[in-house]
Structure 1
Amino acid sequence: MPAQANRPGMTGAKMVVQALKDQGVEVVFGYPGGAVLPIYDEIFQQNDIRHILVRHEQGAIHAAEGYARSTGKPGVALVTSGPGATNAVTGLTDALLDSIPLVVLTGQVPTFLIGSDGFQEADTVGITRPCTKHNWLVKDPAKLSGTIHEAFHVATSGRPGPVLVDIPKDVQFASAEYTQKQAVKSHYQPKVKADPAPIEALVEAMERAERPVLYTGGGVINSGPAASQLLRELVGATNIPITSTLMGLGAYPASGPAWLGMLGMHGTYEANMTMHGCDLMICVGARFDDRITGRTDSFSPQSIKAHIDIDASSINKVIHVDIPILGDVAHALEDILNVWKSRGRRLEREALQGWWTQIDEWRAVDCLAFKPSERTIKPQHAVQRLEALTKGRDRYITTEVGQHQMWAAQYMGFEAPNRWMTSGGLGTMGYGFPASIGVQLAHPDALVINVAGEASWLMNMQEMGTAMQYRLPVKQFILNNERLGMVRQWQELLHGERYSSSWSEALPDFVKLAEAFGAKGIQVSDPADLDDAIREMLDHDGPVILDCLVEKHENCFPMIPSGKAHNEMLLGEASTQGVIDSAGAALV
């Protein structure tokens, strides 16, 4: 660190930049305004940190999320006071629900104006308290650098999440002594090592189980590469079937023999039936979201339930468990493996083989089958072809929110963690495009594709300017059905086919839109031309919008209707047990 970093008299603005450097920050996503101009002036005078000018503050937060999710490092964003901060709220809430580590710095009016309804003043700390892991308003310049260091610690320790530091403009001008990173001693020290007793209890339950299943979530990925590797070792050694939430895809490889596919509302038949029929359910780094559990009183009704989580507030919050294990996923999985091996690697192997025979019968239902068309592109087919033509490449996938998101989760296979970026808990339309920008900045030589719906994509379409300015070759793969697809599907199945405000009569020409930004635009509507269009998108060395015109009224199956149990799934007509009635699907 330069000697000047420790001298008294460093301005608050310089402290901010120095603290980011000390934290190893390489990229900041932001949008300037009056209340953060001193910080922007300091950014201008250095070359270690790259600033990315987004076109909307929500885009800054989602881009930081994409960066964080694909690297495991905290994402950083810088926005101004008032509307700059309030525009960040959706992204902060998205990151909180999906446990994404972010450090967001906001400008604030000078301390002597706080509470006076000054220009672009907002109670940023009050507004963001419910949607951050923690936040701070720094009124004393002597506490600024230490607070930023603490913010990084809180964001990345325990269950990750977004934090916010609100910095008044006069604090940015004021001078004080810089506090070094190593001088900050945080009181926040979450427990990472689980107690041995529940580990022993879980291993004993594994030894007796005849129908076990592993239910994994984003916590496995957040725990780091070691957690995913230990999970794979555990599955390989025990042959216990494994499923995952939307956020946990890639922790166990999609090509692995024990993989059941995704669990939940649009999960596979075999995953949901396995969860319903198991006698031991081991939840690893997931939080029993309602899209996973369905009816809570019917969730995995016959099972002993274990839950491994670093967040004590998540345990017994939604589903009562028999074996609560508080600690970091990687540490817990390592302990489980060691104890199981030391006890002789015992399992009910004959019963487990019978369990797999039952699971194979559920697999034979072929719940993801669909009827192809020679006239129109089925969205499932489009995603299948995208998977086939990009499989094996250094590939990262982001998504918007809706049917296309579920089809991407169903038909694309992820072999490694941190390759799948999507909005799970909040379901934020407009997430995927800016997230793809953050991913591409983190992995400049990788193939980054955003699987989108036309309605979601339009919510943050302004970020085409960001992609073009920084020459980021992100690919926008839009499944265009001219509908709010998931809304329309629910209206068809659950609301008497009353399609209230679920389509748009004023969509842009996406090819011309791309060209207006200086990017490449492609449109395809014929299934025979689909592969060539995808290849053209992949071969172009800059940003691309591929407008894929798909069947307008295709539904996303399987589907567990709201309020139903896992064994009450709606299946499509092409599955071996799916029988279509007048409602478009049938209960199995």
Structure 2
Amino acid sequence: MRLKGADMVMECLLEQGVDTVFGYPGGAILEIYDSLYKYKDKIQSILTSHEQGASHAADGYAKSTGKVGVCMATSGPGATNLVTGIATAFMDSVPIVAITANVGLSFLGKDSFQEIDITGITMPITKHNFIVKKIEDLAPSIRKAFKIAREGRPGPVLIDITKDVTAGYGEYEREEIDTDSNKVSNFYKEENYNESFEKAVELIEESKKPFVFVGGGIKSSNASDELKKFVELIDAPVTDSLMGKGAFDGKSSRYTGMLGMHGTKASNLGVAECDLLVAIGTRFSDRVIGNSDGFASKAKIIHIDIDDAEINKNVLVDLGIAGDAKYVLENLNLMLKKQDHTEWMKEIENLKDKYPIKYNKNVLTGPYVIEKIKECFDDNTIICTEVGQNQMWAAQYFHYNSPRQFVSSGGLGTMGYGLGAAIGVKYGNPKSRVINIAGDGCFRMNMNELATASRYNVPIIQVILNNKVLGMVRQWQTFFYEGRYSDTVLDDQVDFCKVAEGLGCKAVRVTKMDELEKALLEADSYNGPFVIECMIQEDDKVFPMVAPGKSLRDTFDQDDL
């Protein structure tokens, strides 16, 4: 069948099971947007307020569904505005496909109006990228892009298409493609797996104090069920990274809380005392391990990850298994005998009892807001966050019991991520309640996406924890810079409620603890975007904390101070 290039893009998206795209039109991509209009009954196009919001929406859609998220932008500044979102997805291994259009082939390399080498710019922050200059390459490039984005360790792929390709005509033949996101990847299967599995079983059976550390790879491989069985078999406690939230049930008695800089003392001290650490689907970020020389110093370490480049990169391990977490755990579960570590589990339970996370319950605080959200809403609620104190409180005080219930920017730490992501999450999960937790500093970054939410009447709840400062940066300035609060005070005349109302949303301000529940329930019953601004104290801190360069053993909280 002979098709216009832009229509071919639509047909290839339909092949891949795409139902929603997020983006912003412009001159070079007009042909594709013209086709989106013709295909509007099959693919919904969400016009965001800024291209960065589109890339975060695609990220949130992908994180919360396991499908590939799609965003679009025109050439030049449209394409470069996607860069932060693409980098965010790259750092968190999120499968998105970014489609940009460039100037016509004859104008490339001539500094033409709105021309930019977007493939060159994004090369370090994509799994792969394409520039399509011939129409016969268009459909194969799109199909390869989706395959690369979802296979193995997921990640972003960019396709840049010259305008003459989108306007030209070529032959198209539909392909049937398996887009089952639950399908176990056979990527990175090694010939010596049996030897590795036997060694893992040997290390586990020798262990008296095992600890399991899980990251976002469990979610990517849909391995939560296998993880639960594995943990029961080896009779171990479980901690997670920020990206691992929800991979293991946060309400389980085995769960000890997050690990790392703002991890619980039970997790940090437990990992410091364990004799075997089984790390699955995690890259051992510096925010997790602290001083690498003192990390899990008493333990042998098994590291399971689909990307063999991560093994022995940040932490030297005793056994590395490069493979899909679901596949590896399925096989280990078949080989393992039930272990009994009653005394070790009692030791961990004592740590949890001795060092609970806590906060001042007499005033309105960030943790109180999170706990009230947890109290008011059911387990079908998906929490998105911005970055900073709001993010850490949401990680610490909300108990996630399903794998895709927590959506945040981990590796890049992108302020302004959450609101766009929440819109994408809602489109991917229309029956779920979606709440974005923000600090006032992050909210300023991309609050224009409230206009997107009101344009489409997207019923999300935006909670702002407003302490009128850049809270996490101020916390560091308090502890490590002798209280020199350089450019972190935001005490100005901005009224977020008026801004929200001006952008078409309902908004209320909460200043007292007893006002919060009413506001949350009102937001829940409102059919549209609702903003709740919570006024908290400027010097609220996130505890526990590990100072930069210190070991996890050096975790401190307000009592230690």
Deviations 1:361-402 (A, max 9, x none): 2112334112222xx41221111111111133x211100001
Judged with a 3 Å threshold, the aligned counterparts in structure 2 of structure 1 residues 431 and 191 are, in CA distance, closer, same or farther, namely same
Which structure 2 residues correspond to residues 144-223 of structure 1 after superposition, within 5 A? Answer: 144-181=138-175, 190-192=187-189, 195-223=193-221
Q: Secondary structure at the match of 1:28?
A: strand
- One-letter code aligned to 1:217: G
Deviations 1:173-194 (A, max 9, x none): 122222543599xxx9832467
The answer to whether 1:87 aligns with 2:81 is yes
**Contact 2:77–2:114 (CA<8 Å) still a contact in 1?**
yes
Instruction: Find the partner of 2:371 among 384, 389, 396.
Output: 384
Q: Secondary structure at the match of 1:127?
A: helix
1:10 aligns with 3
Cα deviation for residue 114 of structure 1 reads: 0.8
Distance 1:183 1:62 in 2: 26
1:354 aligns with 343
- One-letter code aligned to 1:160: P
**Contact 2:136–2:171 (CA<8 Å) still a contact in 1?**
yes
Distance 1:291 1:385 in 2: 28
Deviations 1:214-235 (A, max 9, x none): 01000000002xx101101112
The answer to whether 1:564 aligns with 2:556 is no
2:182 aligns with none
**Contact 1:519–1:543 (CA<8 Å) still a contact in 2?**
yes
Which structure 2 residues correspond to residues 460-539 of structure 1 after superposition, within 5 A? Answer: 460-539=446-525
Q: Secondary structure at the match of 2:232?
A: helix
Q: Structure 1: state its 5+ residue gaps.
A: 1-6, 573-577, 580-584
Distance 1:176 1:190 in 2: 33
2:526 aligns with 540
Instruction: Tell me the TM-score normalised to structure 2 length.
Output: 0.96
Judged with a 3 Å threshold, the aligned counterparts in structure 2 of structure 1 residues 58 and 210 are, in CA distance, closer, same or farther, namely same
Cα deviation for residue 96 of structure 1 reads: 0.4
Distance 2:354 2:475 in 1: 22
**Contact 1:158–1:192 (CA<8 Å) still a contact in 2?**
no
CA RMSD of aligned residues (A): 1.5
Deviations 1:143-185 (A, max 9, x none): 100100000000000000000000000111122222543599x
Q: Secondary structure at the match of 1:570?
A: coil
2:33 aligns with 40
Distance 1:202 1:301 in 2: 19
Distance 2:240 2:479 in 1: 26
**Contact 1:149–1:181 (CA<8 Å) still a contact in 2?**
no
The answer to whether 1:324 aligns with 2:317 is no
The answer to whether 1:68 aligns with 2:62 is yes
2:136 aligns with 142
1:305 aligns with 301
Distance 1:232 1:493 in 2: 39
Judged with a 3 Å threshold, the aligned counterparts in structure 2 of structure 1 residues 212 and 189 are, in CA distance, closer, same or farther, namely closer
Cα deviation for residue 42 of structure 1 reads: 0.8
- One-letter code aligned to 1:291: R
Instruction: Tell me the TM-score normalised to structure 1 length.
Output: 0.92
Distance 1:525 1:90 in 2: 34
**Contact 1:282–1:307 (CA<8 Å) still a contact in 2?**
yes
Cα deviation for residue 238 of structure 1 reads: 2.8
Q: Secondary structure at the match of 2:354?
A: coil
1:23 aligns with 16
Cα deviation for residue 529 of structure 1 reads: 1.8
**Contact 2:266–2:352 (CA<8 Å) still a contact in 1?**
yes
1:231 aligns with 227
Distance 1:154 1:33 in 2: 27
Deviations 1:402-461 (A, max 9, x none): 101000000001111111100000000000000000011112222100011011011111
Distance 1:10 1:391 in 2: 48
Q: Secondary structure at the match of 2:160?
A: strand
Distance 1:518 1:305 in 2: 52
Q: Secondary structure at the match of 1:247?
A: coil
**Contact 1:450–1:475 (CA<8 Å) still a contact in 2?**
yes
**Contact 2:234–2:338 (CA<8 Å) still a contact in 1?**
no
Q: How many residues align?
A: 553
Which structure 2 residues correspond to residues 225-264 of structure 1 after superposition, within 5 A? Answer: 227-264=223-260
Deviations 1:542-578 (A, max 9, x none): 1111000011111100001110001101212xxxxx2
2:97 aligns with 103
Runs of 4 or more, structure 1, over 6 Å off, are none
**Contact 1:475–1:543 (CA<8 Å) still a contact in 2?**
yes
Identity of aligned residues (%): 41
Distance 1:97 1:446 in 2: 26
Q: Structure 2: state its 5+ residue gaps.
A: 179-184
Judged with a 3 Å threshold, the aligned counterparts in structure 2 of structure 1 residues 395 and 192 are, in CA distance, closer, same or farther, namely farther
**Contact 1:482–1:507 (CA<8 Å) still a contact in 2?**
no
Distance 1:14 1:565 in 2: 56
Judged with a 3 Å threshold, the aligned counterparts in structure 2 of structure 1 residues 191 and 162 are, in CA distance, closer, same or farther, namely same
Judged with a 3 Å threshold, the aligned counterparts in structure 2 of structure 1 residues 220 and 321 are, in CA distance, closer, same or farther, namely same
- One-letter code aligned to 2:156: P
**Contact 1:433–1:476 (CA<8 Å) still a contact in 2?**
yes
Q: Secondary structure at the match of 2:267?
A: helix
Distance 1:330 1:142 in 2: 37
Distance 2:34 2:202 in 1: 61
Deviations 1:256-278 (A, max 9, x none): 12111111111111011111111
**Contact 1:146–1:180 (CA<8 Å) still a contact in 2?**
no
Instruction: Find the partner of 1:366 among 349, 355, 371.
Output: 355
**Contact 2:16–2:177 (CA<8 Å) still a contact in 1?**
no
Distance 2:375 2:253 in 1: 19
1:582 aligns with none
Residues 353-362 or 317-326, more deviating: 353-362
Distance 1:322 1:426 in 2: 29
Distance 2:177 2:526 in 1: 49
Distance 1:30 1:518 in 2: 20
Q: Secondary structure at the match of 1:401?
A: coil
Distance 1:129 1:303 in 2: 38
